[in-house]
Every structure is written in C-alpha cells, then in structure tokens.
C-alpha cells in the first residue's frame, strides 16, 4: 500500500455503499480522498465531501473546480456513481431510462472529461469504473441497466487505448452486493436477499479496487469480476 500513500483520489457515488467503502479504504492507507455524491453526506473527517449530481454538466464542472482548489490534481478517479432500474422494455418509461443513462454513462463520461486531462498533463494516473456482471448478461427487466454497464465497459476500453501508457484503466464488475442500491432503483422491487445467490459486502468490492490500484508501475489490471460463490452469471 505504500505506493498509494500521499496520492489524491476522487470517488463518485462515495457517500454510501461500494463508493464509501472504496473511499474509506483509500483514506485509511494515506490517500487524500474526495467523495462526490448527490446527497449531502456525513463522513469521517479525513474525507473531503462534495455534493454533486454527476448527471449535470455544471455540477461536475463545479466539483472539478472545488477539488482543484482544495485538494489539487487527483491521481485516482473512481467512477462509482450509478442507479438501477427494473422495467420491461415494452412497458417501461423512457424518461426513467434517460435518468439511468445520464447517471451511469454520461456521469462517468463527464468525470473523465473533467479530470483525466490533468492526469495526462501530470504524467500518470488511474481511472476505475464500477461496472456490473449485468454488462455481459442480458436478463428480463434488466435491459436498460445492463446496456448502460455494457456501454460503460466500452468507454473504459476506449479510454484505456487512448491514454496508454500514461494512465491505467480498470473495470471492476461486481455481482450481487449488499448495499442500498436496490432501495434506490428508479423502478424495481428486488433486494440482495431475495435474488437468492448470497451477496458480497461493499468491502469485498473495495478490496478488489485496491488490488488493482496497488499494482507496481508498469502493470495494469484491466478487468476484475467478483461475485458471491453461488451466483451463476
């Protein structure tokens, strides 16, 4: 972990769940960490906290300005902000679908556009995208969510090719994880428990992110899939 000490990080969706677990672990090992979240957050004093709706261009611009002023140029960007939706394609609400696209895809793109140029200018950095096993597995009622995660992985691979060898890019794709994600879906009714495969903890996923971040210079871990043992896809 020594190679990460003293670095600076921004974690979107860092106010709860997987994002908060990642931010907390980074802070514990000496990374100056800023979290950005749509809801005001009460967090440990070591974390810089910013309110930001990543689906809004002006909000991301303001986040960038605040981070630059208070923290400086980040070395690590973790795009974790995301929302779920559980609707049938022939019955769902396209305006709700737009909300998911704006957060899950456009939010990550806005963060990349804001923060990655500075990483290139400084000569290094690491971008982590939180995807999902749904990116590679279509399932009924999950089409819009799965499509956003599949698109996010294309964005990640495109970014990797555009910024190599200066910046490392990692996708972490968790299976079912026990967070408030299911409670905050735009439409849906599932919980981690009723899916029936067991569930990861946010710390399990955060440990996978740290594994990628702590690799020695010159080594890139580009994709990690992590699931409960019983999850078949």
Query: Any catalytic annotation for residue 20?
Result: no
Q: How far apart are CA 20 and CA 43, in angstroms?
A: 9
Token readout for 15 is: 């106010």
- Which of these is catalytic: 20, 141, 145, 197? 145
**Which residue has 């090719």 as its token pair?**
161
* Residue 152: closest CA among 25, 12, 10: 12
What phi and psi values does residue 84 have, to the nearest 5 degrees? -105, 165
107: left (phi over 0), alpha (psi -120 to 50) or beta: alpha
Strands 76-79 and 223-226: unpaired
> Taking the chain, what is the end-to-end CA distance rounded to the nearest angstrom?
31
Token readout for 211 is: 């594994």
Q: Which positions are catalytic?
A: 145
């Amino acid at each position: 972990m020594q190679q990460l000490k003293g670095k600076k990080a921004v974690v979107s969706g860092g106010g709860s769940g997987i994002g908060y677990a990642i931010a907390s672990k980074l802070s514990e090992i000496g990374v100056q960490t800023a979290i950005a979240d749509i809801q005001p957050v009460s967090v440990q004093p070591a974390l810089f906290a910013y309110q930001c709706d990543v689906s809004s261009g002006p909000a991301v611009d303001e986040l960038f300005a605040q981070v630059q002023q208070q923290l400086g140029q980040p070395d690590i960007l973790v795009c974790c902000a995301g929302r779920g939706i559980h609707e049938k394609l022939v019955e769902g609400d396209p305006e709700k679908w737009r909300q998911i696209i704006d957060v899950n895809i456009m939010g990550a793109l806005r963060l990349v556009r804001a923060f990655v140029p500075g990483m290139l200018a400084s000569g290094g950095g690491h971008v982590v995208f939180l995807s999902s096993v749904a990116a590679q597995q279509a399932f009924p009622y999950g089409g819009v969510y799965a499509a956003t995660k599949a698109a996010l992985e294309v964005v990640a691979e495109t970014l990797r090719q555009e910024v190599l060898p200066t910046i490392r890019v990692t996708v972490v794709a968790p299976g079912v994880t026990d967070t408030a994600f299911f409670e905050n879906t735009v439409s849906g009714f599932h919980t981690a428990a009723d899916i029936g495969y067991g569930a990861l903890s946010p710390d399990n996923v955060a440990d996978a992110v740290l594994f990628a971040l702590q690799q020695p210079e010159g080594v890139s871990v580009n994709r990690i899939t992590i699931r409960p043992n019983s999850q078949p896809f």
